């Protein structure tokens, strides 16, 4: 049976398990429009999730990227006995390693993946609740594997209950900076590093109209993104990297998300820029979520002004901006590039869960888990990582 046929034939609701769990029923939605009201209601009330799980972010991704990749929504809502939503798991269905796999919406464009958890429920969730959730998904679908990757162990000082499932370390780390509200700037960026950046910035400050800004109008956002999508491919070609932004739907997704306002101000993706009257010098864009900013993409000028480390200067402005607004953490996304380590000294613990839901899924889960463990080992062994990079360059 195809995935589409499985969706059409599955029941809308699956129930019947241990009465000791607060989860009394599972609803599965295969259409964003059907679940939008529930999704937004969870966002409005006290809840635990990252800004990557906003409807305005993932909805844009699904419409522009997911549909082009033939990924079908599989959105799981767990409810209590009074039919109140306790969590929403934003997944999509696809084929991986020859089996039907449900994975988080957003693909490689989300640094962190989570369910949206009711805050009261998340603080007291138990292993029995997780058993009920998995049992409900298994009963209400013909999925072989739940591949739940890149999940934070904690978010905003709350535990992620998914860590109670069998799990393993994710392939990559995510460098993160913690910021204490009201702390001196030197606690974020050392005085010596600030002096070096200010020395470089003096060259840029001589440029007419030199400034740091956050794009707030549609016209500003469009102008900055037009420049980004011209320059980024050149930078990636220079580094002999594939242009992921040329993949079907990705540019439309980014443009739409950057234009979409979110509750509390800002956009689903915020764009920060360093520029002067003559040119845009650098941009960084990411998602802001109340007390955490997570970077998504960036690039910088191809002109001579690139010699003065505009990307690092822009990062200093962004970090100070969010610190002054009471944010408690800042991250630069997956990977341990040298520039990230100059700012972010710690790593966010991230884990993957591969949960088999069928006999065929058990075999696939073992393969997925083993492959990710091997990738993790390579990434964390300098000699193996160097060898892998050389092989990749040779093939290219």
Per-residue model confidence as pLDDT tens digits over 282-294: 999 999 987 999 9
Highest averaged pLDDT of the listed ranges 110-114, 139-143, 242-246: 110-114
Exposure string for 277-299, b = 16+ CB within 10 A, e = fewer? eeebbbbbbbbbbeebbbbbbbb
Q: What span, in angstroms and rounded, lies between the C-alpha atoms of 14 and 28?
A: 8
| Tens of pLDDT, residues 198-222 | 999 999 999 999 999 999 999 999 9
Q: How many CB atoms lie within 10 A of CB 221?
A: 20
Q: What span, in angstroms and rounded, lies between the C-alpha atoms of 271 and 314?
A: 11
pLDDT given for residue 290 in this prediction = 77
pTM, to two decimals: 0.90
Helix (H, G, I), strand (E, B) or coil at 96: strand
Nearest residue to 71 via CA among 98, 44, 105, 37: 105
Mean pLDDT (the chain) is: 90
Domains of the chain (ranges, CATH numbers): 3-171+349-395 (3.40.630.30), 180-327 (3.40.630.30)
Nearest residue to 113 via CA among 70, 54, 56, 30: 54
pLDDT given for residue 385 in this prediction = 53
pLDDT given for residue 395 in this prediction = 56
pLDDT given for residue 10 in this prediction = 39
Q: How many CB atoms lie within 10 A of CB 160?
A: 23
Q: Using N-to-C axis directions, what is the helix angle for 382-395 and 359-379, rounded to 10°?
A: 100
| Tens of pLDDT, residues 9-54 | 333 444 444 458 999 999 999 999 999 999 999 999 999 999 999 9
| Tens of pLDDT, residues 240-274 | 888 999 999 999 999 999 999 998 889 999 999 99
Tokens of 11: 């029941």
| Tens of pLDDT, residues 145-191 | 999 999 999 998 899 999 999 999 998 888 999 999 889 999 999 99
pLDDT given for residue 96 in this prediction = 79
Place of tokens 């069928």: 358
Give long-range contacts, CB 8 A cutoff, 24+ apart: 225-230.
225/254, 225/255, 225/258, 225/271, 227/280, 227/283, 228/283, 228/285, 228/297, 228/299
Place of tokens 């049976």: 1
Q: What percent of the chain is modeled with pLDDT above 90? A: 76
pLDDT given for residue 289 in this prediction = 87
């Amino acid at each position: 049976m195809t995935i589409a046929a499985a969706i059409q034939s599955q029941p809308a609701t699956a129930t019947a398990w241990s009465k000791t769990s607060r989860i009394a029923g599972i609803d599965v939605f295969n259409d964003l429009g059907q679940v939008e009201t529930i999704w937004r209601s969870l966002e409005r009330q006290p809840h635990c999730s990252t800004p990557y799980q906003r409807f305005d972010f993932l909805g844009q991704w699904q419409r522009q990227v997911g549909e082009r990749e033939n990924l079908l929504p599989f959105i799981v809502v767990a409810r209590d006995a009074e039919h109140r939503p306790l969590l929403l798991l934003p997944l999509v269905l696809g084929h991986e390693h020859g089996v039907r796999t449900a994975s988080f919406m957003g693909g490689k464009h989300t640094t962190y993946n989570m369910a949206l958890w009711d805050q009261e429920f998340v603080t007291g969730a138990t292993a029995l609740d997780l058993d009920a959730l998995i049992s409900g998904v298994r009963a209400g679908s013909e999925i072989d594997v739940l591949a739940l990757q890149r999940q934070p162990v904690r978010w905003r000082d709350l535990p992620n209950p998914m860590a109670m499932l069998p799990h393993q370390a994710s392939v990559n780390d995510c460098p993160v900076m913690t910021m204490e509200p009201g702390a001196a700037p030197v606690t974020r960026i050392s005085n010596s590093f600030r002096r070096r950046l200010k020395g470089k910035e003096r060259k840029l400050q001589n440029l007419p109209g030199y400034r740091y800004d956050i794009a707030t109008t549609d016209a500003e956002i469009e102008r900055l993104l037009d420049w980004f999508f011209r320059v980024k491919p050149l930078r990636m070609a220079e580094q002999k990297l594939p242009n992921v932004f040329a993949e079907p739907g990705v540019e439309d997704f980014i443009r739409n998300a950057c234009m979409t306002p979110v509750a509390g101000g800002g956009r689903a993706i915020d764009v920060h820029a360093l520029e002067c009257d003559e040119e845009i010098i650098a941009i960084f864009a990411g998602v802001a979520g109340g007390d955490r900013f997570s970077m998504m993409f960036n690039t910088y000028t191809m002109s001579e002004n690139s010699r003065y480390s505009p990307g690092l200067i822009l990062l200093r402005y962004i970090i100070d901006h969010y610190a002054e607004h009471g944010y408690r953490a800042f991250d630069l996304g997956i990977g341990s590039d040298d520039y990230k380590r100059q700012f972010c000294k710690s790593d966010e613990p991230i884990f993957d869960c591969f949960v088999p839901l069928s006999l065929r899924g058990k075999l696939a889960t073992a393969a997925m888990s083993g492959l990710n463990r091997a990738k993790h080992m390579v990434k964390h062994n300098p000699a193996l990582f160097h060898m892998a990079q050389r092989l990749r360059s040779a093939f290219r």
